[in-house]
Amino acid sequence: AQRVTQPEKLLSVFKGAPVELKCNYSYSGSPELFWYVQYSRQRLQLLLRHISRESIKGFTADLNKGETSFHLKKPFAQEEDSAMYYCAPFTGGGNKLTFGTGTQLKVEL
Amino acid sequence: DTGVSQDPRHKITKRGQNVTFRCDPISEHNRLYWYRQTLGQGPEFLTYFQNEAQLEKSRLLSDRFSAERPKGSFSTLEIQRTEQGDSAMYLCASSLSDTSSGANVLTFGAGSRLTVL
């Protein structure tokens, strides 16, 4: 079955600690992978996409086709990183994003 | 153009009533999506349009739900005979479908929250 899994509903880290938000996917073909973020009281917005190979707000994500993973990482968490993060493959055949259940990141001082 | 607009932002209705939500996408975007999000869950795909054509509908979209995009610009999502289980945030998003760098990047609206009493 095609699915995307974010195993942690809540991840709590201290400011300055490394962060890794896990995402595993199970899709046929080679979906394009995205991370979306929703800050408190704001709309869902794009954080980064794997084909861009960019670092956005200090976050990076590497697509590992062998492990079918697309984990989101940041070496030093900041308080403003506290938000809900969603991993989402874009399946070309379906032409849509399919979202995981999300991980709530809480950065504590 | 200030992004994707949704109206109303919040709708409270009684069970059995009909409700309609409107979405105005980014003007140059030819794809428009509807998602539904309930508490503790990620957004769930409902349907999408490319221009005025509705190309895919989720099995989540029962016969009580209908979406239109008559001129390939704004879209409406109507729910007939609402049920308490329809209470959710209804999200609209738009995107390009061509091969530009912006393709497949969905821009979301703020959502329309439905509460069915």
pLDDT digits (tens, 9 = 90+) for B1-58: 579 999 999 999 999 999 999 999 999 899 999 999 998 899 999 999 999 999 999 9
Q: Dihedral of the CA atoms A31, A70, A38, B91 (nearest 10)?
A: 20
Q: What is the pLDDT of residue B104?
A: 83
Q: What is the pLDDT of residue B97?
A: 81
Say whether residue B42 is in contact with chain A using an 8 A CB cutoff: yes
Say whether residue A44 is in contact with chain B using an 8 A CB cutoff: yes
Say whether residue B70 is in contact with chain A using an 8 A CB cutoff: no
CA distance A99 to chain B (A): 6
User: Cβ contact (<8 Å) for A44 and B108?
Assistant: yes
Please state, in angstroms and rounded to a whole number, the distance separating the CA atoms of residues A98 and A34: 10
Q: Which of A3, A27, A38, A44 to mutate to test the interface with B (most CBs of B within 10 A)?
A: A44
Chain B residues with CB-CB distance to A86 below 8 A: 42-43
CA distance A78 to chain B (A): 24
Q: Which helix (H) or strand (E) holds A92?
A: none
pLDDT digits (tens, 9 = 90+) for A31-70: 889 999 999 999 999 999 888 878 889 999 988 888 899 9
Tell me which range, A83-92, A93-102, B4-13, B58-67, is most confidently predicted by mean pLDDT: B4-13
Please state, in angstroms and rounded to a whole number, the distance separating the CA atoms of residues B75 and B78: 10
